[in-house]
């Protein structure tokens, strides 16, 4: 068992040693360029709406994964993530997630929402008790 574990660790270490980071960094910009070309087709006002360009973004991430794998690197990895973050800053820096302000509904609605389950529970208990008494009679 010990020999197998050593071999497993050696295999994992060998995988990380094989990663050609310079090759990966050389190839990733082509993915970014392709994504940039696709994003030119989308109105810049819609750049914060993911549904407008989800296919382009999917192609972009697949491209970065493919190039990382071709360079024998794991994906995601810090260098690829740094590149992807750069693309995000280029296209999505103006996209802020607006915080949703939760508010309680008006008291009338709140009371109704609380009372309905309470009333249903009481009705079910009454029905069960009534049915069990009737079965005794029958």
Residue 73 lies in a domain: yes
**Do both 89 and 26 map to the same domain?**
yes
- Same domain? For 30 and 80 the reply is yes
Which pLDDT score, from 0 to 100, does residue 10 have?
47
Tell me which residue of 69, 68, 60 sits closest to 31, measured CA to CA.
60
Question: What are the residues whose beta carbons fall under 8 Å from the beta carbon of 104, sequence distance 6 or more?
Answer: 110
Residues 48 and 73 in one domain: yes
Domain span including residue 125 = 105-137
Per-residue pLDDT of the chain (138 residues; tens, 9 = 90+): 444 444 444 444 444 458 999 999 999 999 999 999 999 999 988 999 989 999 999 999 999 999 999 999 999 899 999 999 999 999 998 887 665 566 777 888 888 888 898 899 999 999 998 888 877 665
Q: Are residues 130 and 72 in the same domain?
A: no
Instruction: Tell me the whole-structure pTM to 2 decimals.
Output: 0.56
Q: Do residues 70 and 27 both lie within one domain?
A: yes
Instruction: Tell me, yes or no, whether 13 lies in a domain.
Output: no
Quick check: is 9 in a domain?
no
Assess whether 113 and 66 both reside in one domain: no
Does 82 map to a domain? yes
> Do 25 and 83 fall into the same domain?
yes
Is 77 a domain residue?
yes
Residue 2 covered by a domain: no
Note whether 31 and 72 are same-domain residues.
yes
Beta-carbon contacts of 61 under 8 Å, excluding residues fewer than 6 positions away, are 84
Residues 78 and 128 in one domain: no
Say whether both 27 and 80 belong to one domain: yes
Structural domain count, the chain: 2
Assign residue 29 the CATH number of its domain: 1.10.150.510
């Amino acid at each position: 068992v010990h020999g197998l574990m050593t071999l497993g660790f050696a295999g994992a270490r060998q995988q990380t040693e094989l990663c050609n980071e310079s090759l990966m960094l050389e190839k990733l910009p082509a993915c970014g360029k392709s994504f940039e070309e696709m994003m030119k087709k989308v109105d810049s006002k819609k750049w914060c709406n993911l549904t407008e360009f989800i296919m382009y973004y999917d192609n972009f991430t697949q491209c970065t994964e493919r190039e990382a794998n071709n360079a024998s690197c794991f994906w995601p990895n810090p260098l690829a993530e740094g590149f992807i973050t750069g693309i995000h800053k280029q296209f999505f820096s103006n996209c802020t997630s607006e915080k949703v302000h939760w508010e309680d509904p008006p008291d009338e609605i709140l009371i109704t929402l609380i009372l309905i389950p309470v009333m249903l529970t009481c009705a079910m208990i009454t029905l069960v008790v009534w049915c069990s008494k009737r079965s005794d009679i029958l």
